[in-house]
Amino acid sequence: MSTILQSDIWAQLQEANGHRVFRGEGEGWRYMATLEGGSTGRYLYAPYGPEADNAAAFDAAIADMKRVAADNKCWFIRVEPINDAIWGSQSGEAFLAARGFTLSPRQVQPSHTQMIDLTQSEDQILKDMKSTNRNLHRNIHKKGVTFEKSQNPADIKILLKYLDETAGRAGFNRQQDDYLTRVAQVLMPADAAALFIAKVDGEPIGASLTYDSDDTRVYAHAATSFAHRKLQVGNPLLSTIILDAKEKGLTHMDLFGIAPNDDPNHEWAGFTKFKKSFGGTSVAYPGTWDLPVSTAGYKAYQGIRAGRETLAQGIRAGREALAQGIRAGCEALAQGKKFATGTLLPKAKDAAGKVRARIGK
């Protein structure tokens, strides 16, 4: 199974975004890595890489990455291998730790995902979905809903509109418009990305951006109209994407990111339930790992990150304390106003009435 994040077209996208890109290749291994970092230290990062057929090939890839990193004054390399043939019967975590890797303080790509086998028949793929998804897939057209696939980069604005609406309502961070526009401009002409658009009576009400490698489609970004939420178009939109990937001849559908162990408190718990309702198998990867090229440099990086995290925690705590103080002040003001209008004002009116009565006499 291949990943688009290690493909040549993804390297072109990174270059279009202003990154320096490095490639390496040998017998049974290859990688694409970008030069990252700034004031916290430079490093080479291979998203979902390097790709390797076995442990020896992985070691060769790492040796080459370390050489390139040293030549470019990097403090460490950052990797995310996903092929379990590399570590065999042992765990990926134990394999990496034995080679001197440290679990990264920043986990980048999802280490847990839901994968659907597209070599099954269409009937079996639909059968593995929840009945709600099957029914919506088969009957949504009765409500005037249609789906279109576009590889026109200009259509990305449809997705941007609904991502903005959803992010504003739900309060989450999303990819910037400039980045997603560049993704569309680079990947769509190469048949490595497509926008699937949901329409009702011809008007767009949602969209999803997908990425394709040689054999795998990734469900990357999606958003739908809140005003049309009762139609549940997100469900048949995804089932359409899955079956289109099968029709294209791809063998895997990666729903790209779920909560580990169905953790109900995880920030991804909501869409994990949604993604798992389409069937497939939960897959776990070792995650993001760092290997120092400069021991002193990596210790400095860890210290800088720890300092920044402590500062960030202090700022968050300060903001929360300020918010609590404001809330307490508002409550006290409200109680004071209530006391004044409910107790003092009637007494004042009564006293004024008595004064007027005496004057009248």
User: What is the per-residue pLDDT across 139-188, written as a single tens digit (0 to 9) for each?
Assistant: 999 999 999 999 999 999 999 999 999 888 876 778 899 999 999 999 99
**How much is the pLDDT for 114?**
98
Percent of the chain at pLDDT exceeding 90 = 72
**pLDDT classification of 304: cutoffs 50, 70, 90:** confident
Report cis status (omega within 30 of 0) of the bond before 50.
Answer: yes
Per-residue model confidence (pLDDT) at position 350: 72
Average pLDDT over residues 313-329: 60
Domains of the chain: 120-250 (3.40.630.30)
- Write down the pLDDT at residue 326: 64
- Check residue 314 and give its pLDDT: 61
Beta strand pairing call for 21-26 and 76-79:
unpaired
Q: How confident is the model at residue 100 (pLDDT cuts 50, 70, 90)?
A: very high
Q: Which tens digits make up the pLDDT trace of 181-234?
A: 999 999 999 999 999 999 999 999 999 999 999 999 999 999 999 999 999 999
Kindly tell me if the per-residue pLDDT of 332 is higher than 70. Answer: no
pLDDT of residue 306: 67
Per-residue pLDDT for 134 more than 70?
yes
Six-digit token string for 58:
């992985």
Residue 355's pLDDT is what?
52
Q: Alpha-carbon dihedral of residues 245, 248, 249, 252, nearest 10 degrees?
A: -20
**Whole-angstrom distance, CA of residue 39 vs CA of residue 285:** 29
| pLDDT score for 265 | 87
Mean pLDDT of the chain: 90
Q: Does position 317 have pLDDT exceeding 80, yes or no?
A: no
Whether residue 323 has pLDDT greater than 60: no
Q: Is the pLDDT of residue 309 over 70?
A: no
pLDDT of the residue at 308? 61
How many Cβ atoms from other residues are within 10 Å of residue 21's Cβ?
16
Give the Cα separation of 288 and 77 in Å (integer).
10
Amino acid at 43: Y
For 265-283, give one letter per residue: b (16+ CB within 10 A) or e: eeeeeeebebbbbbbbebb
- Which pLDDT score is estimated for 52? 98
Q: Is the pLDDT of residue 81 over 90?
A: yes
* More confident: 240 or 298: 240
For residues 47-59, average pLDDT: 98
Which pLDDT band holds residue 336 (cuts at 50, 70, 90)?
low
pLDDT of residue 83: 97
